[in-house]
Structure 1
């Protein structure tokens, strides 16, 4: 934020300007020109400050700190989404009756640290194994860990094997601090849809208040009269389709935030991979990559489990696919061999990139 200059600071600026402007003998005998230039410099700075103030009024043009401290605080109840720590369960093994205290730390192969949330004691008899709840020490999407991964105890614990196996669905829910671009978009949407009363757009906005949630689609009456279904994805995760724990987190948030007059259902969309067969001219690795990026952008833009605010399934016209390929940098001509017709998805299906076969 640009600080307002004090009267003394402005006076010193003018004095310095006068000293520079009267450096030559002719100007020492003419005070009008240096005085005018000195005052012009001061006034020019004031106009610049007024221009900066004008830009801060609208969230589309304001500085980042103004967006966070002013606009987000006004339009978003919880402000900027903070980073969230990944959590989940792992399997500990060892000797019968061996305790694993809360707070013990484990390390992933890349150095990421996790802590035991609740201490456990392995069973008295039978297989000496127990399920342990873990949380990533450092919040962020980097803490998300696939099931089957091995975590090693930082400090040995008597009776506990040194490695724990991450259980399905993995350690999830980790999210980075919301980016400025995402925050700016949410503020603009909140301004546009001011007066949240439970419209479809409001439910989508509420879902995106959960750290890590990037896109959401509300479907009123999806499961009967008085119900609201909210599909969502997490584009920043290795797998954007949310798991059960992430769905539960959005469900809890919607029940606390949304209107209390609906049966609320937070839902993970069903992945619908779309395969392509393309004959490309010219056919080079760079142009193939450009076409791949263009098709991924199309599916991200037009793919949805439902049309927002309805229970209508989504169709992506084949003509949109050919248009997207034609717009790829370097493409001169192409033949889209598959799909041969429009992409028709069912309710709840989300079109995502499959495989591309180059002919």
Structure 2
């Protein structure tokens, strides 16, 4: 059974009792401001700190309860490291008077985020477009399309105000302890790495920005391993779908080289895989399904509509996978949790099944009726 740690009040009472029954001649009671009473309170407080320290040490002794650098040390023993925050990137455009360009390294404020241009801008038809990288890492560095962009310092011939022409994406916050702990515990539960399906999934999840991954052994023939993955935070503007082309690692000569996010994942897995495996990193293909919700009656309010849409979106995030199926009872269970008086899912009426191994069911438009 767990150890019952005494409270500070109990420790104070115990200290007073120990003094009173400690055999000191003439001591039968303690006045509140007496020297012995004050000493008893001090000793009780010190004992409470010691109990707290030992309690904290015991939590760091196993990865299931460890925190901060102690959790990272447990993870390092299994070569599982916390994902660092990443910065978003995109492009901005500014009107120009002629054929002026914006130099590399120019400061741009895009949607309130400080960025630097990573290359000389390209000017056509009175507009110059420059690629930018946010200078602060995290999900907040993902800037929406058409957001206001402002030059940090004037550039001759270029207007000060412009717009974001390619939404900033790729920004992700540092992995939290709770998210990281799941991967660490999975690594300890799996034992040694040997190239099984879970190993490939874990290798993909180790990549910054990757939030979900699936392994399809021999997905493209004997000797191949297909990795599907999603980036729900870093690619939130693209509904979480990776941006790039499917393919293999840079050093893999047996298959077309991937680009973008797929190349990042393929390159990360390449040195870890069993040497004969041909690993192909792929983005799932979205298979959107529209929902029609009727029979809401008085519950047909904007708040309930938002709650239903959020519940369905969460359901797809939790349950959908490439080549997978989502059954009617699963979406009824998701909506039931909201606590509506009544509702009917008019469509779809049958299980949502992926049309191919790489297709993944996603939420389409949701319509409502009383």
Residue 86 of structure 1 corresponds to 88
- Alpha-carbon deviations, 1:139-181, whole Å to 9, x = none? 122222355555322111224454566555x432211111222
Residue 136 of structure 2 corresponds to 138
Tell whether 2:345 aligns with 1:336: yes
- Other structure's SS at 1:171 match: strand
- Alpha-carbon deviations, 1:241-286, whole Å to 9, x = none? 1222333322332334444432222222222222222223662535
- In the TM superposition, 1:1-359 aligns within 5 A as 26-27=28-29, 46-68=50-72, 70-77=73-80, 79-90=81-92, 94=96, 98=100, 100-108=102-110, 110-119=111-120, 132-146=130-144, 149=147, 151-163=149-161, 166=164, 168=166, 170-236=167-233, 237-238=236-237, 239-244=239-244, 245-278=260-293, 279-280=295-296, 283-285=299-301, 286-305=303-322, 313-329=323-339, 331-346=340-355, 347-359=357-369
Q: Cα–Cα, structure 1 residues 41 and 291, in superposed 2: closer, same or farther, change >3 Å?
A: same
Which range is displaced more, 289-298 or 239-248?
289-298
Q: Cα–Cα, structure 1 residues 323 and 76, in superposed 2: closer, same or farther, change >3 Å?
A: same
Deviation at 1:190, TM superposition (A): 1.7
Give the distance between the partners of 1:92 and 1:260, measured in 2 at CA.
49
Give the distance between the partners of 2:109 and 2:212, measured in 1 at CA.
32
Q: Cα–Cα, structure 1 residues 147 and 53, in superposed 2: closer, same or farther, change >3 Å?
A: same
Residue 7 of structure 1 corresponds to none
Give the distance between the partners of 1:328 and 1:149, measured in 2 at CA.
34
Deviation at 1:81, TM superposition (A): 0.9
Is contact 1:96–1:128 with CA below 8 Å preserved after alignment? Answer: yes
Give the distance between the partners of 2:183 and 2:192, measured in 1 at CA.
14
**TM-score normalized with structure 2 length:** 0.74
Is contact 2:121–2:131 with CA below 8 Å preserved after alignment? Answer: no
Is contact 2:290–2:364 with CA below 8 Å preserved after alignment? Answer: yes
The count of residues paired between Structure 1 and Structure 2 equals 327
Deviation at 1:287, TM superposition (A): 4.5
Is contact 2:324–2:361 with CA below 8 Å preserved after alignment? Answer: no
- Other structure's SS at 1:228 match: strand
RMSD, aligned α-carbons: 3.7
- Alpha-carbon deviations, 1:18-47, whole Å to 9, x = none? 69966x95236xxxx999999887666545
Is contact 2:88–2:168 with CA below 8 Å preserved after alignment? Answer: yes
Is contact 2:82–2:180 with CA below 8 Å preserved after alignment? Answer: yes
